[in-house]
Amino acid sequence: MLIHSASQLLTLAGGPQRGHALGTLGIIENGAVIVRDEKIIAVGTTDELRNAYPDEPTLDAGHSVLMPGFVDPHTHVIWAGDRANEFEMKMGGMAYLDILAAGGGIISTVKATRTASLETLIAQTRPRLLKMFAHGTTTAEAKTGYGLQTSTELRLLKALLALDDESPLDLAITFLGAHAIAPEYKDNPQGYTDEVVNTMLPMLKEWWETHAPRLNLPFVDVFCETKAFDLEQSRQILTRAGSLGFPLKIHADEFDNLGGAALAAELGAASADHLVRTSDADIAALGKSDTVAVALPCTPFGLAEKDYTPAKKLIAADAMLALATDCNPGTSWNESMQIAIALACRYMKLTPAQAIAASTINSAHAIRRSDTIGSIEVGKQADMLILSVPDYRQVGYRYGTNLVKQVIKRGRVYSVDVGYYRTA
C-alpha cells in the first residue's frame, strides 16, 4: 500500500532524542510511505514513491499530517470501579495522600478490583483501550497494581494478556505489585516489601514463563513515595527484580523527593516516571543515563496541583524526555495522549514538536521498543496516524477533541474520525 499526499510526513527518524535534540521531527513535505506485511518498506516524497511503486494500491492522506502512532509508556489502565466520590473530596480540599492513608485512594480501587472477576476486569478495561486507540495510541504500557496480593495480581496479568491478544493496540505489561502497601500489611510496610521480594517476584517469573513464554519478561515497577515504598524498600524490590532478569521502572518524586530517579539511573531502569519534585542531583543522574524521564502532566492537572515536571531542566541536563497519560482512576482518568501533549505544552513549556517527539520515539524508548516503533523508518512496524489537520503545530494547540482521522496499526487501516462536513 502506498500512503501518499501527506502535507507533512513526520518521520521522527534517527532514534531517541536526548536533551536539546528533542523535537527533531524529520519532516518530509508531500510525503509518502510504502507499507507491506505490517512493515514500512519505503519512505519518501509522493512523487518519488509513485514513480518507484506505480502499481501499489493507494491510500490518500488528503494533505494532512502523517505521523507515527502515539506510544503511551505509563498507564494503570486495568482496574474495576471508579473514584468519582474521591474526586469530589479532593476538589473539596482533601489531599490525595491523606485519602490514601485513610484507606481510600489506591486502596479503594484495590478493594473493587479484588472482587472483580477476570471477565469483569476485561469488560471494564476494553473500552478504555478502544478510546486510547481511537485517539491515536498504537502501543501502551499497562501496569497491574490494584491487586496487591498474588491471586489478584495474576488475574490482572491474565486479563492484560487477553486484552493484548484481542485488541489492535499492543500492550507492554508491567508488574506493579509494589503500587501501595497492601491493606494486610498496613502497619508493616517492610513486611509487604519482603513479600514482594521473596514471594511475588520469583512466583511472577515462573508464572510468566509458563503463561507467556513467547513474550519478553514484563517490567517491574515500584511507587517510591512517602506513605508507599521508601528508597531502601524500592531498592530492595528493584534489585531483586533486576537479578531475576526483569527490566525496571520506577514512580519517583510525584509528591516528595526520595531519590528514586537516581536509583533508577543507577540500576539501569528503562524509565523513571512522574519527576515533579526531582532534585537537581537526581536530574543530573538521569541526564547521564539511558533511563528515560517520563512526565505525566495529566496527573498534576487531574489533582489540580500547580507543579509539573521541570522539562527545561531535564532537557538542559541532556535527559531523554517522554510523555504519558498515567491513565488511572485516582489522579488521571484520561485516555488521550493529545491531552497529555496539550498540557505539556502549556505547563512544561514544550513546543508541539518536542511534545510529539516525547510521545513517539522517546516514549517508545521508555518501554524499550524504539527499535521497532515510534518513528516512520524503513523496517519499522507500520504504526501510523493520519490526522485531520495539515500542520503538526495543531497538535497541542487544539485540545479536547480528537485530531486523529485514521489509525494504521501493523499496516491495517482503522477509521476513527467522526467525520466532518464537506461542501460539494
DSSP, collapsed to helix, strand or coil, labels residue 349 as coil
Q: Which does 223 bind (CB under 5 to 8 A by kind): Fe ion, ligand NIG, none?
A: ligand NIG
Residue 329 found at the interface with ligand NIG (CB under 6 A): yes
**Count of residues of this chain found to bind ligand NIG when the rule CB under 6 A is applied:** 13
CB of 327 to Fe ion, least distance (A): 9
Q: Which is nearer to ligand NIG, 16 or 302 (CB)?
A: 302
Q: Residue from 223, 246, 301, 333 that binds ligand NIG (CB under 6 A)?
A: 223
Q: Which is nearer to ligand NIG, 80 or 395 (CB)?
A: 80
Q: Residue from 3, 106, 261, 294 that binds ligand NIG (CB under 6 A)?
A: 106
CB of 273 to ligand NIG, least distance (A): 7
Residue 208 found at the interface with ligand NIG (CB under 6 A): no
Residue 109 found at the interface with ligand NIG (CB under 6 A): yes
Which residue, chain included where needed, has cell 488521550? 336
Cell of 139: 502501543
Of the CA atoms within 13 Å of residue 84, those in its CB half-sphere come to 2
CB of 50 to Fe ion, least distance (A): 45
CA-based nearest residue to 219, from 235, 201, 232, 231: 201
Q: Which is nearer to Fe ion, 273 or 282 (CB)?
A: 273
Q: What is the CA radius of gyration of the chain?
A: 21
Q: Which is nearer to ligand NIG, 289 or 299 (CB)?
A: 299
Q: What angle do CA 304, 343, 248 make, to 5 degrees?
A: 90
Q: Which does 299 bind (CB under 5 to 8 A by kind): ligand NIG, Fe ion, none?
A: ligand NIG
Amino acid letter for position 394: Q
Under 8 Å between Cβ of 272 and 293:
yes
Residues between 285 and 344 that touch Fe ion (CB under 5 A): 326
Q: Which whole-number Å values give the CA distances from 400 to 188, 295, 334, 336, 403, in the listed order?
A: 43, 20, 11, 9, 9
Largest CA distance in the chain: 70
Residue 117, C-beta contacts closer than 8 angstroms, at least 6 positions apart: none
CB of 264 to Fe ion, least distance (A): 14
Q: Of all helices (H) and strands (E), which one includes residue 222?
A: strand 219-224
Q: Residue from 330, 352, 374, 396 that binds ligand NIG (CB under 6 A)?
A: 330
Q: Which does 109 bind (CB under 5 to 8 A by kind): ligand NIG, Fe ion, none?
A: ligand NIG
Q: Which whole-number Å values give the CA distances from 335 to 46, 144, 332, 417, in the listed order?
A: 33, 17, 9, 16
- What does DSSP assign to residue 188? -
For residues 133 and 139, give the distance between their C-alpha atoms in angstroms, rounded to a whole number: 8
Residue 254 found at the interface with ligand NIG (CB under 6 A): yes
CA-based nearest residue to 68, from 279, 299, 399, 361: 361
Q: Residue from 251, 277, 365, 409 that binds ligand NIG (CB under 6 A)?
A: 251
Residues between 60 and 99 that touch ligand NIG (CB under 6 A): 76
- What does DSSP assign to residue 320? B
Q: Which does 330 bind (CB under 5 to 8 A by kind): Fe ion, ligand NIG, none?
A: ligand NIG
Under 8 Å between Cβ of 335 and 326:
no
For residues 332 and 87, give the distance between their C-alpha atoms in angstroms, rounded to a whole number: 10
- 3-state class percentages of the chain: helix first, strand second, coil last, to nearest 5: 40, 20, 40
Q: Which is nearer to Fe ion, 368 or 410 (CB)?
A: 368
Q: How far is CA 142 from the centre of its chain?
A: 8
113-121, 154-162, 328-336, 365-373 -> range binding ligand NIG (CB under 6 A): 328-336
Q: Residue from 278, 331, 334, 406 that binds ligand NIG (CB under 6 A)?
A: 331
Alpha helices, DSSP H, located in 1-117:
46-52, 84-91, 96-101, 106-114
Q: Residue from 75, 138, 299, 309 that binds ligand NIG (CB under 6 A)?
A: 299
Residues between 36 and 65 that touch Fe ion (CB under 5 A): none
321-329, 372-380, 393-401, 403-411 -> range binding ligand NIG (CB under 6 A): 321-329
Q: Which does 254 bind (CB under 5 to 8 A by kind): ligand NIG, Fe ion, none?
A: ligand NIG
Interface residues toward Fe ion, by CB under 5 A? 326
Binding interface with ligand NIG (CB under 6 A): 76, 105-106, 109, 223, 251, 254, 299, 326, 328-331
